[in-house]
Amino acid sequence: MRETWVIGAASNRFGKMRETGREAATEVALAAIESAGIEPRQIGYTFVANAFGVAEHQAHVGPLINTGLGIPEVPSCTIESACSSSSAALHEAFVHVSGGFTDAALVVGSEKLSHLDTLAATSYFACGADYPFETKNGATFPGLYATLASTSQPAYATRPEMFGAIAVKNHANGARNPHAHFQKPISMETYLASPMIASPLRLYDCCPFSDGAAALVVAAKEATPSPAREPLVIRASARAGSIAGMHDRPDMLGLPATRAAAEIAYRQAKMTPRDIQFAEVHDCFTIAEALALEDLGFFPRGTGAKESFDGTTARDGRFPVNPSGGLKAKGHPVSATGAGQVVEIFEQFNGLAGARAVPHAEIALAHNVGATGGSCSVHIFSRR
Ligand SMILES: CC(C)(COP(=O)(O)OP(=O)(O)OC[C@H]1O[C@@H](n2cnc3c(N)ncnc32)[C@H](O)[C@@H]1OP(=O)(O)O)[C@@H](O)C(=O)NCCC(=O)NCCS
């Protein structure tokens, strides 16, 4: 396998986009290619993540993006893996580039849902669950993650303030991120007073519905030895799956796909959780961040939320988690989310993170989950 880098990255501000998903994808793709200091014609393959294009009456968006970039002859395909679509696209790009099938690949994730109301957006999202057993019986993602929360909360005596600490921390980080959907800090009082969405999850336990687009340029070191920016060396690109329907899982105190992807990633990178200096993890709900920190091996089972409460995972804590603001505050435009996590790490390593900079970071991990964990990606990056 060839050493493979992320040499360019760009994102728009998550939240509400005026542009269509396809227009936003083309804009961020061009910005990512420019940040890499290469020309669009050097791209050999475009991997697009776009789970809900049909909500805009637009599927098969890859050729449209490539046409906008002036490279219509370049092959493209759309990768769908629910909320982990663009990290799955990154994995495919890594496989192609490291395997020598192409020297440089574009990964672009884009989603626009803000023209839908909450009911319609919830119905579209719920298609990512197990339809006959979950969705058809009324389960939504807030409901499914509430089930995970109500399973682990009594098992570990997790207090609401512990989940609240995750929300407060991520909103504080989002307030420092110009890409973030929400750029306002919240207090614990605001968290505790927010309406119940699906017990025990309150409004501020939930990620919002966001539009957004993010793009990455993945290239072989030997083909682009001197990129314009500090590249991210891809030390691990791991994917794993698990039983999609939660009712069939033997264990609800974590996500098996995260544990499996993490094990592969640490093996590939020849690292342990102790080597990671900060992480962008999939906090679609606060319980998801708590479980991710445990499943990724950063903290013992049952202590993920408590570590946030104790300040360990703050931007200036011992182990910063979601310095971008995470899905909770930066936003969750489904197919742009995984690529957006890598944009954050690229900006951190390139001194572009401004007020949310994590000092002296050399090694970082990105964790992106599809739905309730039917699929999961874990990537580990280092500086050269
Ligand atoms: C939590 C949720 C139900 C709130 O939806 P809603 O009650 O219809 O809220 P609205 O869209 O009407 O927004 C009302 C206000 O709350 C804010 N808001 C909405 N969702 C928010 C969230 N998750 N966190 C913080 N604020 C939120 C809006 O910005 C708006 O603020 P404003 O009045 O100052 O403009 C919705 O955001 C949700 O379902 N989130 C989860 C999405 C999801 O499942 N993603 C997939 C994960 S696997």
What is Dmax (Cα atoms) for the chain? 57
In angstroms, the Cα distances linking 196 to 136, 168, 202, 229 are 23, 16, 4, 44
Query: Ligand 1, from 124, 203, 211: best to mutate by most atoms within 8 Å of Cβ?
Result: 203
Q: Whose CA is nearest to atom 28 of ligand 1?
A: 208
pLDDT at residue 154, as a whole number: 82
Instruction: Report how far Cα 33 is from the mean position of its chain's Cα atoms.
Output: 20
The pLDDT of residue 256: 97
Residues whose CB falls within 8 Å of the CB of residue 245, separated by 6 or more in sequence, listed in order: 129, 130, 133, 134
Determine the distance separating the centroid of ligand 1 and the alpha carbon of 209, expressed in angstroms. 6
> Residue 155: what pLDDT?
81
**Under DSSP, is residue 145 helix (H, G, I), strand (E, B) or coil?**
helix
Distance (Å, whole) CA 121 – CA 213: 17
Describe the chain by its helix, strand, coil percentages, rounded to 5: 40, 20, 40
Position in ligand 1 atom list of the atom nearest CA 371: 48
CB atoms closer than 10 angstroms to residue 258: 28
Q: Which residue has its alpha carbon closest to ligand 1 atom 17?
A: 208
Give pLDDT, residue 156.
Answer: 84
Q: Hey, what domains does the chain have and what are their CATH numbers?
A: 4-116+209-220 (3.40.47.10)
CA–CA gap between residue 298 and residue 325 (Å, rounded): 19
pLDDT of residue 251: 85
Pocket of ligand 1 (CB under 6 A): 83, 118, 122, 125, 141-142, 197, 203-204, 206-209, 284, 332
CB 290 within 8 A of CB 303: no
Of ligand 1's listed atoms, the one at least distance from the Cα of 140 is 44
pLDDT at 346: 98
Amino acid at 194: S
pLDDT means per 10 residues, the chain with 384 residues, are 98 97 98 97 98 95 98 98 98 98 98 96 93 94 96 86 97 98 98 98 98 98 94 98 94 95 98 98 98 98 95 97 98 98 98 95 97 98 96
Enumerate the active-site residues: 83, 332
